[in-house]
Amino acid sequence: MNDISPAALRGAVDLSSLRNRPAAADPAAPAGGGAASGVVVDVTDASFGEYLELSRRVPVVVDLWAEWCGPCKQLSPVLEKVVRELGGRVVLAKVDVDANPQLQQAFNAQSIPMVIALIAGQPVPMFTGAVPEEQVREVFAKLLELAAQHGVTGTVDAGESDAAAEVPEEAPLPPLHAEAYAAIESGDYARAVAAYEKALAENPRDEDARAGLGQVKLLLRVQGADLQAARAAAAEKPTDVEAQFLVADLDISGGHVDDAFGRLLDLFAALPADERAPVRERLVELFGLVGDADPRVAAARTRLASLLF
């Protein structure tokens, strides 16, 4: 991936279980908790919550790697070099996936190296695999642009590893956004949907509300769903639109984006022309949820276009 847009500030990665996780002392960690400097730090399952919160003030780039991974050894030094040159505008959080299985699972890291940024607590996909330094710099430039659009413009002292370094205070959320967040925290997704819809009615250009609405609608649809039962129903009735929709939603929520898109595209192809509209609408909704910058969205859009024409 070599492009990041505002639509990328979303996705199915659920980091809520790692938020505010108490940090345990790690005798194997370098002194001060970091790697070589305050902007390059080693992060564990236990300490990750600290950097998730830090991402509300300064972008945090997560480098998922392992000692046995050859491409990781090519990419990690490039990431460290670029981050240090940015002088505290970005923090690089290095995660050894072998030692931190919860983070590997949370990010659905099926192959490494995998690099994901965090902005305001939300994951932003960057790239998977070793990429050239020039491409790394291009993606970091786009990341900083996206962070600025969301008010994440703080810095940390490049010589310190303290995640509580001085940064500008975070601006308060608009009232309807704050209401939606509170509803999500309490599990009241219907109230969150209503708050985001009201925000969009007041300002149709509120892209944060639009993104939040898509995420919460997905959470509402899959709430209480039984994955095994849903898959069995979908297998029994391959052209049942609602049955296929539920499995696709569950796949998206679990990070299986290609599976979800493939299922709905196969359904679209199998249905008569006059029954396809709801499937196309759901695909477009999920495209927006995952983000137009994601290459999986581009591939699915291409196949959808070929089926349409």
Element (H, E) at 4: none
Select from 159, 140, 223, 153 the least CA-distant residue to 188. Answer: 223
CB burial string 242-267: b at 16+ within 10 A, e below: ebbbbbbbbbbbebbbeebbbbbbbb
Residue 132: C-alpha distances to residues 60, 77, 258, 262 (Å): 20, 11, 26, 30
Active site residue 176: no
Two tokens, residue 95: 């995660």
- Find tokens 């708050």 and name the residue: 195
Residue from 64, 69, 97, 260 carrying the catalytic annotation: 69
Residue from 41, 72, 114, 304 carrying the catalytic annotation: 72
Sequence-ordered list of residues with C-beta below 8 angstroms from that of 168, at least 6 positions apart, any chain? 57, 153, 154
- What is the rounded CA–CA span in Å between residue 304 and residue 309? 9
Q: How many residues does the chain have?
A: 309
Active site residue 72: yes
Contact status, residue 5 vs residue 293, Cβ threshold 8 Å: yes
Please list the active-site residues.
Answer: 69, 72
